[in-house]
Structure 1
Amino acid sequence: MIVFPNAKINIGLHVVSRRPDGFRNLESCFYPVNWCDALEIVPADETRFTSSGLSIPGEANKNLCLKAYELLRQDFTLPSVHIHLHKNIPIGAGMGGGSADAAFTLKLINDLFTLKIAVSDLENYARSLGSDCAFFIQNKPIFAVEKGDIFEPLDLNLSGYQIVLIYPDLHITTAEAYQKVIPQIPVEDLRSVLQQPVSSWKNRVKNDFEQALFPSYPVLPQLKSYLYQKGALYASMTGSGSAVFGIFSPDFSQKLTMPGTTYPIWQGTL
């Protein structure tokens, strides 16, 4: 059985305060996009993980997909499986690709072996794998708070808008990003601003990591400016970086390129 774990973008990201557990309290809109990996799981004589496509750092036996399988095997009798992941979503891009792979592994094993795990329980399993993993269980626009793993409903529908995502071949670690960002109370209520037209977001919907990372990585503000030059209604870095996205009107049809670079660009419809 094959599924296609998709990426996400953060539309606004406020780092509000430090937590006693060492994490940060956040608030952000998580929105799914269709830049996808491909994940296949089949019964096998022994459990193993293989991959193709983009190179995945770390040892194969410590991949999040295997961790997701092992997590379910603690509570359910499962056969051995072969997990194969074809990696397309850039790593260290702030798009949640690894989290999506883990969450889709949980969902696929649940379906493949008819475990009948409730959605809320799948989300709890996912939370133990990573802060934003649980988002990909229901995979719909939400407002995330606390560590980014507690979700509140959000009435935001961008269906039909065009999106362009550019990854500048730059892997920014989560540790580095959080080391540089300074928690602060937001000036405006993000929920309220997101209810306004996309064309009003430009100077109001902010990602706090931009202020922290743009001085060290000048390519990031350059990409953001490029997207605005090409007509984006709204542009931002996503997550803690380093991918930058632009949201364009539904009638935008120009195919964007970055002459002189080999930056991966994904363009599609939200």
Structure 2
Amino acid sequence: MIQALNNTLFRRLGDGVFVTMIASILAFLYLPVIVLIVFSFNDSSSLTLPLSGFTWKWYQSVFANEDLLRALRNSFYVASLATVLTLVIGVPAAFALDRLNFPGKTLFRRLVLLPLVLPGIITGISMLNLFKLMGFSLSLETVIIGHATALLSVVVTQVFARLQRLSRSYEEAAADLGARPWETFFLVILPNIRSAMIGSALLSFTLSFDEIPVTFFLTGRDNTLPMYIWSTMRRGLTPEINAVGTLIIAASLVLIVLSVSLLKADDER
């Protein structure tokens, strides 16, 4: 009887320690986010407690700030085109790694993965030297190329892993039924790797949207949103920045829900 009580006590104690540990980790991760959201509605411009009241004026200030909105549009422009570029190059590269045998294949695979391992500052400096050598002027387009170079490995690894799990019997069955290679790709292969493409595209977009090191070296006169926030915070944290952060969090949640819904529908089919 005593042994059973001891076992129950230790089990409850262990469960309590585990719950406390999980709660501490979640607090460490999300308490700063909660603070950011709360202070974005604070009526006072001073980021101190207690809160002075509820207001929407910082959000109104964000949408009235033309420099911030221009930086936001630039970030969407850069992230969107960089994502498209990574897909255009990354998907064929993944197919080459999965379907073709050629000299230097192992080296090619490692070189494709190298930008994912290298620090962003190294990629930024390297691309800056290349553009200067070629006589290119720094602009948002050079930022797009730099982001695509840095994030190409994200698409290649995700699509390549999905292709490795895809049975060749589907393609053989399509060929037996008279499908041409391009028909097999669009009607058989593409639907089966769509989830990997969507996931890698969303990840590439997110990483490109908040990229700073590569952008710092390759941007010209046009700011992206992370660079604008960084330059603004050098003069001190303002409630406007909290409002921008809250809007980005909300947009990220919508994007996550949308991606999960698309992937779930894809898996059900």
* TM-score tier after normalising by the smaller chain length: under 0.3
> What TM-score, normalized to structure 1?
0.24
Q: Greater RCO between the two (CA within 8 Å, min separation 6)? A: 2
- Structure number with the higher helix fraction is 2
TM-score, structure 2 normalization: 0.24
As a proportion of its length, which structure holds more strand? 1
> Which of these two proteins has the greater Rg computed from alpha carbons?
2
